[in-house]
Structure 1
Amino acid sequence: MLSRIGSLSTGRASRTRRLQAVLSDQGGSDMKLVWLFDEFLKDTVNLNKTRIDLLEASIPALKSFVRDSDWKPKVRTFEEQGSWAHQTIIRPVDNGEFDADLLVMVDPVEGWSADEYVESLGRVFAASKTYEDKVKTWDYCVTITYAGDRKIDLAPCVVGRRWDGSMEVCNRKGSFEQTAPVDYTAWMKERNTYSGNNSFRKVTRLVKYLRDIKETFTCPSVLLTTLLGNQIQWLDKGSDAFADVPTTLKTVMGRLDNWLQMHPTRPPVTNPKLSTEDFSPLFGTDDQYSNFRTVISRYRKWIDEAHATEGRQESIKAWQKVFGTEFAKGDVVKAAADSISENTEQSLVSRFLDSTAAHLNGIVDMVRDYGISILPPSFARPPHMQTPRWRSIPQPVDIAVSAEWRPTSSAQSARTVAAGQALRAQGGLYFRASLVGGTPVPPEYYVEWRITNTGAVAMSARAGRGGFEVSNKADGRWEELAYRGIHMAEAFVVRRSDDVLVGVSKPFYVVIE
């Protein structure tokens, strides 16, 4: 998830709309920022339309391939499953692959064991020139991977083997396992109807985003969706407790925390449409359940505080404590108070900038509050930054950079950090480069890093660091967080055989408070 730098004119129309929203916000004493939640979902959390379109464009070809193949089972139909079917699929926070589940509903084949359904489907795809380099067979499904962007899992589901209408997924280890995917999806849609305004789906996406961006707890999506859905009942329909998205989030997380606190040890979490299926083993170990219980309680407290906080700027900061600086990242809160015009914006930013990149510390505060987009294009190319020394292909491919914060370079504990996220001057970041979609850089290429610092303290201490560095870890680079400022890390991928530059990343902005 890379921040983009642009001119002050970029997105001005959008900021004008935000300003109008500021002036017309009728949120009451609790600054719920409903409009900003909608924007956060649209711009950051939801899987973008382009990728949805790519997913949906792939499905008809897969269906036709299976139907037209010599696969022995008779195909009845196909059913969407999981987050895709529930409309709770979210954008991967690391810009990596997303996946979707498709059940292949088939009649039973006399004499077949469970493993034959999965393995034979895998062989059919592997024998195809179209899919032979995209297919992998797992315990329950066959996965088709498209260029590191998306994965589609096709899982055979046998209908009517045990009794008329029974449904069973197939485990390659030899067992048929009863399932109720259609009924579960209907249950999930029913919860969404009770909450109103599509708010249950939106809240589920928000909590999944919280799980993925914080990485402080683990909880697979089917378990998480069930836990959240269990907190909504038919009596809630039309209730003030579900008046809007932030209020629904507060209500559902509060109820979930209350339920978890009543269960010090891991409780059963049954499929609401299949009482014999217990999702609770997905919690993992007892320690993982205990951690989940503790973390949900912490986030419940933060959400309650944010929902009750008065004052728009204070409320935004409180919600950013929950969701990080991507929430309301482009909001012009202070601009509204100062009636900022285009010239005034430029004046405020330029007040802190210096042609040597030894800018005043106030620019860090502005970026923390307004986002990276307020910086002029020239910020990304300060005078002391070195130019690449390699010959280059005409259009280098895009390279993705991800970062983990660690207390020391050798520490095993880590948490993902987003570009532009405000950090303290402690510990350090472990940067990794990959192809967009998450595929590792192939071994016939090497990566060098351009590490550039800015800010008066950093420029003085490191004499304008802006050159190229080799990887100092097995697959990336470690950098300590030491100097207040807005710094940049960029990855350059070079072909070993002829030292030609073939890939370049956008700047990964590191904001140190």
Structure 2
Amino acid sequence: MKLVSLFDDFLKDTVNLNKTRIDLLEASIPALKSFVRASGWQPKVRTFVEQGSWAHETIIRPVDGKEFDADLLVVVDPVDGWTAAEYVESLGRAFSSSKTYEDKTKTCDYCVTITYAGDRRIDLAPCVVGRLWDGSMEVCNRKGSFERTEPVEYTDWMKERNAYSGNNSFRKVTRLVKYLRDIKQTFTCPSVLLTTLLGNEIQWFEKGNDEFADVPTTLKTLMGRLDDRLRIYSTRPTVTNPKLPSEDFSPLFGTDEQYSNFRTVIARYRKCIDEAHATEGRRESIKAWQKVFGTDFAKGDLVKAAAGLTENTGTSLVGRFLDSTAAHLGGIVDLVRDYGLSILPASFARPAHMQAPRWSSVSQPADIAVSAEWRSASHAEVGRPVAVGQLLRPQGGLYFRATLVDGTPVPPEYYVEWRITNTGAVAMSANAGRGGFEVSNKSKGRWETLLYRGIHMAEAFVVRRSDDLLVGVSKPFYVVIE
């Protein structure tokens, strides 16, 4: 099924950057423009041009809760004798010497990045106009030379593709595929390359075509066509900038192995999307789309359905699998898989065997962030990020880290203890149900193996060393083991 309204909700509630953050972004821009013009920076500023996902209206909400980024070109006249590096480095010095921006500034290869901690990053990239000929535009590579660019024309091309698809569906599908890339982390593909690949699959004569009737159908069409095209090329194909033929985006694929992986993964997602689009029955179709986008797709719809699922006795299905000892039956895992963590009652997070903190506490402990990474073994150096409530197999383990909410480490004058709580019949019988406090057993966090089917919790407590005062607490990080 197409489930058009559920795609609209998913975009609005999960994928799209929310209006509050867009408003914050747009509120920052006038101050940055004013600063550049008044800073004494030598190049004469002609104008500022939005570019990238912000200009294309394909910017998405970061899936990891971190900053989102936006690109702003600073269009300037050339300065005689200046190298490309001088434009970038001198703009960086102007910002870093400012009291307002000194702690927010980082000078990169092409731009100066201003970071508003925990919320947004704005990249200001010098763009020299008229150095080669009247109207020519070049961005500045700090480690190389001037590079031709056509940002306005590329944005117009993107808008043109969107008009051909109708109903703003090309923009929406681009956001969905970027979300898929970020949430699954199974392939890499920079946004400009991904946008170009998808846009190349829409032609002017297809305006009003049934293959672009709505968002899920456009997604099916474009992913199918992209898969068909990639099948032609066993090695990286040339992907020309549609408005600058001399620019080839194909190096952005990365290595041959990365391109091969991208090709394989697109084929796999194409198959899943085709199956979900063809699946009959609302609940079955939702579950098929969740295989593509995860359990945040249509979660509100399924929660409503779960609330109505009762036995003849009137006992809820959730209640049927729970009891007061937290030795719940394994079926609760299946319900959470199908309907999400929101179906769990509030009491689930505070089972009777969970120990209370032993420290005195400030009146309002600070929020602490917990992240987790799956690793094959405790000595493994690399792994993959895991989301709260993500369904996991009973193999390997999780490496938990606690940080302040802006991502900075817990200061050395504080220590972290972890409350690790098991639930589920198997875990409770195996070890009487863990619910106490543990010290960090890795240099910067806590390692826990994945053993018992159930829904378990990890919480971080930050305590001041000098007086054992509890100053920070995290929300439970739910670990769901099938």
- Structure 2 CA distance, aligned partners of 1:128 and 1:197? 45
Length-normalised TM-score, structure 1:
0.89
- Specify the SS of the correspondent of 2:371: strand
Aligned counterpart, 1:304: 274
- Specify the SS of the correspondent of 1:79: strand
2:76 is equivalent to residue 89 of structure 1:
no
Shift of 1:340: 5.3
Shift of 1:35: 1.5
Instruction: Flag the 1:316–1:345 CA change in 2: closer, same or farther, 3 A.
Output: farther
- Structure 2 CA distance, aligned partners of 1:90 and 1:503? 30
- Specify the SS of the correspondent of 1:330: helix
Shift of 1:435: 2.5
- 1:376-415, aligned counterparts within 5 Å? 376-412=345-381, 414-415=383-384
Instruction: Flag the 1:291–1:117 CA change in 2: closer, same or farther, 3 A.
Output: same
Q: Give the counterpart of 2:414 among 426, 435, 445.
A: 445
2:79 is equivalent to residue 109 of structure 1:
yes
Length-normalised TM-score, structure 2:
0.95
Shift of 1:301: 0.9
C-alpha deviations, 1:406-426, integer Å up to 9, x for none?
Answer: 333334553322211222222
- Structure 1 CA distance, aligned partners of 2:287 and 2:481? 17
2:236 is equivalent to residue 266 of structure 1:
yes
- Specify the SS of the correspondent of 1:235: helix
Shift of 1:451: 1.1
Aligned counterpart, 1:28: none
Between 357-366 and 120-129, report the one with greater CA deviation: 357-366
- Structure 2 CA distance, aligned partners of 1:221 and 1:51? 20
- 1:24-35, aligned counterparts within 5 Å? 31-35=1-5
- Structure 1 CA distance, aligned partners of 2:430 and 2:406? 37
- Structure 2 CA distance, aligned partners of 1:268 and 1:187? 18
8 Å contact kept, 1:86–1:188 = yes
- 1:19-418, aligned counterparts within 5 Å? 31-332=1-302, 335=305, 347-412=316-381, 414-418=383-387
- Structure 2 CA distance, aligned partners of 1:443 and 1:100? 34
C-alpha deviations, 1:359-418, integer Å up to 9, x for none?
Answer: 222222222222211222111111111122223233222222222223333345533222
Aligned counterpart, 1:465: 434
2:425 is equivalent to residue 456 of structure 1:
yes
**Which structure's relative contact order is higher, taking Cα pairs within 8 Å and 6+ residues apart?**
1
- Structure 1 CA distance, aligned partners of 2:233 and 2:182? 24
- Structure 2 CA distance, aligned partners of 1:449 and 1:339? 36
Shift of 1:70: 0.7
- Structure 1 CA distance, aligned partners of 2:66 and 2:401? 13
- Specify the SS of the correspondent of 2:300: coil
Aligned counterpart, 1:13: none
Where does structure 1 lack aligned partners over 5 or more consecutive residues?
Answer: 1-30
8 Å contact kept, 2:127–2:137 = yes
The alignment-based identity, stated in percent, is 83
8 Å contact kept, 2:67–2:121 = yes
Aligned counterpart, 1:423: 392
Aligned counterpart, 1:495: 464
- Specify the SS of the correspondent of 1:208: helix
Instruction: Flag the 1:267–1:88 CA change in 2: closer, same or farther, 3 A.
Output: same
- Structure 2 CA distance, aligned partners of 1:105 and 1:468? 56
What is the aligned length? Answer: 481
C-alpha deviations, 1:236-258, integer Å up to 9, x for none?
Answer: 21111111111111111111111
Shift of 1:266: 0.7
- Structure 2 CA distance, aligned partners of 1:345 and 1:363? 18
Between 417-426 and 170-179, report the one with greater CA deviation: 417-426
8 Å contact kept, 2:376–2:396 = yes
- Structure 2 CA distance, aligned partners of 1:293 and 1:429? 30
Instruction: Flag the 1:174–1:283 CA change in 2: closer, same or farther, 3 A.
Output: closer
Shift of 1:174: 4.3
Aligned counterpart, 1:504: 473
Shift of 1:177: 0.8
Instruction: Flag the 1:497–1:83 CA change in 2: closer, same or farther, 3 A.
Output: farther
Instruction: Flag the 1:206–1:264 CA change in 2: closer, same or farther, 3 A.
Output: same
Structure 2: which amino acid aligns with 1:165? G
Shift of 1:330: 2.5
Shift of 1:267: 1.0
Shift of 1:483: 1.3
Aligned counterpart, 1:5: none
8 Å contact kept, 1:429–1:479 = yes
Where does structure 2 lack aligned partners over 5 or more consecutive residues?
Answer: none
- Structure 2 CA distance, aligned partners of 1:440 and 1:219? 30
Instruction: Flag the 1:507–1:262 CA change in 2: closer, same or farther, 3 A.
Output: same
